[in-house]
């Protein structure tokens, strides 16, 4: 079943949700992870590889690789998998646009995405009259890109013939983006790593801006579980969350090792990417960072951002700001549900921070993650 049909058919969605509920009702159901072969999946795959789930007493199946966000979300809603990493705006869409019962447990990672363009493009303003690919309408990539476009006097269109002050956006699978850029079918793309690093290594594109240099310490993917698991087996959810927090801590201290673990050279062969490409993302050399500052890909070096970083706590201010920005963002298809969403209500209903806060306390990792004592912050966006 196509995802478009899944979310527009009045009959099929409840059927798939009911299937997911039956799986969730099984108290001893194993952990079934779904993921895309991108760096966003790092904590899930590190926890599996290093047997951190088993250490918490959780039975886990082999993680299942999916090739698109649509496939991943459909598998989650239908109950084929019960823990996934998804783009944070997708959770708003799934929960309020399609009434899918899910809960955000924690942030999976921060930043880890970039706007990559053809080598001849020197600024965001140069994208006027051109086509840029995004991975999904409900993505932080689309949100950040459109914030940048508005800040540079550009507007979004879906027309095949954009005007000089318009940018045509198209949805494209991340795995197709580098080839499309090389063929000059698009002027650029904004997506999760390591596809930006792949384009750089192949010499077909350059990073114009890092998303984490626009929205400081923003979440990209979040970890999502079925609401029924949260309600009916909270001890299991706590153990899963604790394993993921430990995976993030390990990754912070073993970035280069994590790149190998996730690569096609790792024992698990979780992704098709080479260690060098993933290393460019997880453990980039200092020379790279200096070059990005010189080219303007990084305009806020004082933020001391990593190309990808890990911090699990889901700040309410982020979810509230995300809802506010989604209301300002052009999104194709049915999106009227956004109009009446209250940002504070969404932050309270969609996210359940009890488990990750307990895990942070149990591991004594609040300082290691640089979390404020108040577990609160203000959002910073600068073009």
- How confident is the model over 15-63, as pLDDT tens digits? 344 444 544 457 779 999 999 999 999 999 999 999 999 999 999 999 9
Residue 143 has a pLDDT of 98
Residue 27 has a pLDDT of 73
- 91, pLDDT greater than 60: yes
Q: What is the mean pLDDT of the chain?
A: 93
Q: Could you tell me which residues are beta bridge partners of residue 117? A: 188, 206
Exposed, middle or buried by CB within 10 Å (0-12, 13-18, 19+), for 101? Answer: middle
Tokens of 244: 């993921």
H-helix segments, 113-194: 140-151, 174-182
pTM of this structure: 0.92
Strands (E), the chain: 33-35, 64-65, 83-87, 102-107, 110-111, 113-117, 130-134, 155-157, 166-171, 188-192, 206-210, 221-226, 308-309
Q: Could you tell me which residues are beta bridge partners of residue 170? A: 133
Averaged pLDDT for residues 160-178: 95
Residue 14 has a pLDDT of 43
Decide: 33 and 64 in contact? Cβ < 8 Å. Answer: yes
CA distance 251 to 47: 10
- 13, pLDDT greater than 80: no
Residue 25 has a pLDDT of 55
CA distance 119 to 205: 5
Residue 135 has a pLDDT of 94
Dihedral, CA atoms, 291, 294, 299, 303, nearest 10 degrees? 50
Running DSSP on this structure, what letter comes out for residue 95?
I
CA distance 133 to 140: 13
Residue 26 has a pLDDT of 72
Query: In whole angstroms, how far apart are CA 376 and each of 32, 317, 342, 381?
Result: 32, 7, 19, 17
Residue 2 has a pLDDT of 41
CA distance 97 to 332: 13
Residue owning tokens 């494209």? 172
Averaged pLDDT for residues 110-132: 97
H-helix segments, 254-381: 255-262, 275-282, 286-295, 316-328, 343-350, 354-363
């Amino acid at each position: 079943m196509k995802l478009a049909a899944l979310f527009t058919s009045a009959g099929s969605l409840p059927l798939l949700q009911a299937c997911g509920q039956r799986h969730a009702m099984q108290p001893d159901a194993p952990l079934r992870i779904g993921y895309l072969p991108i760096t966003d999946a790092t904590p899930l795959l590190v926890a599996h590889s290093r047997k951190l789930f088993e250490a918490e007493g959780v039975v886990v199946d082999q993680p299942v690789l999916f090739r698109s966000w649509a496939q991943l979300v459909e598998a989650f809603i239908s109950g084929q998998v019960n823990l996934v990493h998804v783009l944070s705006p997708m959770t708003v869409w799934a929960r309020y646009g399609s009434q899918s019962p899910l809960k955000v447990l924690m942030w999976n990672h921060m930043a880890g995405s970039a706007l990559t363009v053809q080598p001849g493009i020197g600024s965001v303003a140069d994208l006027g009259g051109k086509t840029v690919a995004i991975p999904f309408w409900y993505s932080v990539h689309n949100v950040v890109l459109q914030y940048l476009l508005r800040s540079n006097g550009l507007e979004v269109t879906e027309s095949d013939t954009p005007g000089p002050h318009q940018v045509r956006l198209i949805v494209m699978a991340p795995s197709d983006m580098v080839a499309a850029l090389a063929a000059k079918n698009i002027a650029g793309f904004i997506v999760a790593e390591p596809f930006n690093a792949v384009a750089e290594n192949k010499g077909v594109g350059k990073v114009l801006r890092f998303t984490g240099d626009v929205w400081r310490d923003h979440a990209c993917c979040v970890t999502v579980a079925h609401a029924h698991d949260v309600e009916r087996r909270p001890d299991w959810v706590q153990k899963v969350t604790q394993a993921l927090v430990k995976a993030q801590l390990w990754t912070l201290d073993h970035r280069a090792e994590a790149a190998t673990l996730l690569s096609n050279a790792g024992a698990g062969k979780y992704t098709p990417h080479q260690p060098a490409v993933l290393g460019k993302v997880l453990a980039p050399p200092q020379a790279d960072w200096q070059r990005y500052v010189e080219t303007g890909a990084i305009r806020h070096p004082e933020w001391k951002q990593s190309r990808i970083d890990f911090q699990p706590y889901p700040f309410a201010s982020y979810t509230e700001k995300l809802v506010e920005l989604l209301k300002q963002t052009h999104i194709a298809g049915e999106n009227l549900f956004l109009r009446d969403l209250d940002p504070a209500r969404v932050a309270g209903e969609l996210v359940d921070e009890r488990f990750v806060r307990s895990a942070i306390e149990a591991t004594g990792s609040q300082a290691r993650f640089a979390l404020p004592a108040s577990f609160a912050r203000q959002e910073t966006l600068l073009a």
